[in-house]
Amino acid sequence: MKVLILGIDGYIGFPLALRLIDNGIDVYGADNFYTRKRVMEVKSKSAIRINSMNERISKLNNRIKFYRGDVSNSKFVYDLIRDIKPDAVVHLAEQRSAPYSMISLKTANETLEKNIKSTMNIIYAVKDLKIDTHIVKLGSMGEYGTPNIDIPEGFFNVDYNNRNDYMVFPRMGQSWYHLSKVFDTYNLILANKIWDLNVSDVMQGVVYGSRTKEINKYGLFTRFDIDEVYGTVLNRFVAESVMGDPLTVYGEGNQKRTFLSLEDSIYCLNLILNNPPDHEYKVYNQFDEYYSLNYLAGRVKEYADEILDKNVKIGHLEDPRVESGNHYYNPVNENLKKIGYRRQRSLDEELPLMLRDLNSNKNRLLSLRNVIRPKTLWK
Ligand code: USQ
């Protein structure tokens, strides 16, 4: 099988490449190092040192065929898909920060344009070049927002004025970033309807963790962001505990979100690649568990106090975002279980690993102290 990973240099892309290489798959990858550049612009860097793409490839004995370029450039995408004729394309090459998308009109437009165009480029390249490719697209659980009813996998039955229909579940994303993914979702649904494209749309929760089996085997780390723009909540909490700073819980901390470990994210993507739909548009709600932020802060404190002999404080900051602080939350994740998903690594297994990895990079973390406090405000 030939798999093309768009965004192969990223937090998910690189460990996915390692897994596929070890599974004997021909791995092709593209990246324009957008995340490396944007993270530098906010005066940050990966909290765990990572190799350049050239170093990664040479340490892997050239088992990744790498193309440098931007997926929002249609010529680049057409050339790639024409040359490689991949069996699957995994699209991870989008602007992936909700805060970044909320900084200004410029960053909002950049996010919407880059993300929507990149998915459209893939859709049209696959259709025009008539290549029977499985498109695996990274969406977000945040597309759904936090409705006061259960969250199904993409679609649900609606009864309204004595009639009923099976419809797309309403999407109520809470940032321009999340809305860019909503547009992608609708664009993929239409592409499947008109041209029978083969699509797995992955609504992924917040990923946490620093290690997968192959990161251990090769000793090649993936990036780990902790700054207020690019770091996600649990990775940030663990970093803050190592720095000896209060955990930055935004608002009341009763927000609930879906989570999964990096190991589980890679496991799920591999399962999805091995189970292509039959020219359907298929949705996977990709998460292991949902937790409140207060619960997660409590668990990080518990482990950091014990392992690093700390007395971690949990801080409550005014919420820089506009989001519900107290809400119902009940999403399902049945489709992954149907293709064999079982949790690979729990929160209790991952937290000690993260604490040790970050503690061994403590000086690097301390140099990032001034990019931790939230500065990007929704209002
Ligand atoms: N939060 C804190 N403290 C922090 C950082 C965040 O309390 O220091 C809160 C936020 O207010 C929010 C929650 O934690 O309520 C999650 O925020 P996040 O920054 O970890 O995640 P989010 O912006 O929602 O986006 C991330 C990824 C995105 C992915 C998404 C899944 O960046 O790519 O799609 O998680 S989900 O959250 O389900 O939308």
| pLDDT of 48 | 98
- The band of 185, judged by pLDDT with boundaries at 50, 70 and 90, is very high
The residue contributing the CA closest to ligand 1 atom 17 is 233
Q: Is the entire prediction scored with pTM above 0.95? A: yes
Give the three-class secondary structure for 8: coil
The answer to the question of residue 146 being in a domain is yes
Q: Model confidence over 341-372: pLDDT tens digits?
A: 999 999 999 999 999 999 999 999 999 999 99
The answer to the question of residue 279 being in a domain is yes
The answer to the question of residue 370 being in a domain is no
Q: Model confidence over 127-141: pLDDT tens digits?
A: 999 999 999 999 999
| pLDDT of 112 | 98
Give the three-class secondary structure for 67: strand
The answer to the question of residue 308 being in a domain is no
How far is the centre of ligand 1, averaged over its atoms, from the C-alpha of 206 (Å)?
6
**Does an H or E element contain 314, and which?**
strand 314-317
Which of 101, 138, 250 for mutating ligand 1's site (highest number of atoms within 8 Å of CB)? 250
The answer to the question of residue 65 being in a domain is yes
| pLDDT of 122 | 98
| pLDDT of 223 | 98
- The band of 217, judged by pLDDT with boundaries at 50, 70 and 90, is very high
The answer to the question of residue 46 being in a domain is yes
What is the β-pairing status of strands 155-160 and 163-168? antiparallel
Give the three-class secondary structure for 189: helix
Nearest to 234 by CA among 92, 372, 102, 351: 351
| pLDDT of 353 | 97
Mean pLDDT of 165-179: 98
How far is the centre of ligand 1, averaged over its atoms, from the C-alpha of 323 (Å)?
11
The answer to the question of residue 198 being in a domain is yes
CATH of the domain at 157: 3.40.50.720
Which of 232, 243, 247 for mutating ligand 1's site (highest number of atoms within 8 Å of CB)? 232
Give the domain extent around 78.
2-224+259-288+330-344
Average of per-residue pLDDT values in the chain:
98
Nearest to 185 by CA among 99, 302, 94, 81: 94
Mean pLDDT of 59-80: 98
Hey, what are 180's tokens? Answer: 């860019």
- The band of 317, judged by pLDDT with boundaries at 50, 70 and 90, is very high
Mean pLDDT of 277-297: 97
- The band of 154, judged by pLDDT with boundaries at 50, 70 and 90, is very high
Give the three-class secondary structure for 320: coil
CA distance 256 to 47: 26
- The band of 19, judged by pLDDT with boundaries at 50, 70 and 90, is very high
The residue contributing the CA closest to ligand 1 atom 18 is 232
Give the three-class secondary structure for 129: coil
DSSP 21-45: HHTT-EEEEEE--HHHHHHHHTT--
- The band of 318, judged by pLDDT with boundaries at 50, 70 and 90, is very high
- The band of 287, judged by pLDDT with boundaries at 50, 70 and 90, is very high
Question: 7 CB less than 6 Å from ligand 1?
Answer: no
Tell me how many domains the chain contains: 1
| pLDDT of 270 | 98
